[in-house]
């Protein structure tokens, strides 16, 4: 085997693994951990339900961070950014038309108080 071929194999296996494969695996592991924390920690344990609309939490769950936009930034992908924007539009429509009315019916005053304390999407600059 020539030195050039051995160098190519080394380049694929060592720098290729650490610069391409490992960051992707770390991102996937972080995404899985984030999902488990939100789905199981938030919905199952604290909310005593699931993220499914037909088996919703019995207690109000008020946390859960976004992931798609981070992936778009890490991979510098316009397609992932467009997917994140489309997902955000879909989430907004769902929240406004389905989720918020259902939360008002189910949790009443507790949800109204949460709405007064926390803005829908953008943080308040001044405390009230």
Q: What is the mean pLDDT of the chain?
A: 83
Tokens of 40: 């199981």
On the question of pLDDT at 122 being above 70, the answer is yes
State pLDDT tens for residues 52-83.
878 888 888 776 656 677 777 777 888 888 88
Q: Which position has the higher pLDDT, 120 or 101?
A: 101
Q: According to the model, what pLDDT value does residue 127 have?
A: 57
pLDDT tens for 79-97 read 888 888 888 898 889 889 9
Four-point Cα dihedral 101, 46, 34, 55, nearest 10 = -50
Which tokens go with 118? 């926390």
Tell me the pTM.
0.52
Query: Which of 96, 103, 118 lies closest to 59 in space, CA to CA?
Result: 103
pLDDT for res 101: 94
- Give yes or no for residue 20 having a pLDDT over 90: no
């Amino acid at each position: 085997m020539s030195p050039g071929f051995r160098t190519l194999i080394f380049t694929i296996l060592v720098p290729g693994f650490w610069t391409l494969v490992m960051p992707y695996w770390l991102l996937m592991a972080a995404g899985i951990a984030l999902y488990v924390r939100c789905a199981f920690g938030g919905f199952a344990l604290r909310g005593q339900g699931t993220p499914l609309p037909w088996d919703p939490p019995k207690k109000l769950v008020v946390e859960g961070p976004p992931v798609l936009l981070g992936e778009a930034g890490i991979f510098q992908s316009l397609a992932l950014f467009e997917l994140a924007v489309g997902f955000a539009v879909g989430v907004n429509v769902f929240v406004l038309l389905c989720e918020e009315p259902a939360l008002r019916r189910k949790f009443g005053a507790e949800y109204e108080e949460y709405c007064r304390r926390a803005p829908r999407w953008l943080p308040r600059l001044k405390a009230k």
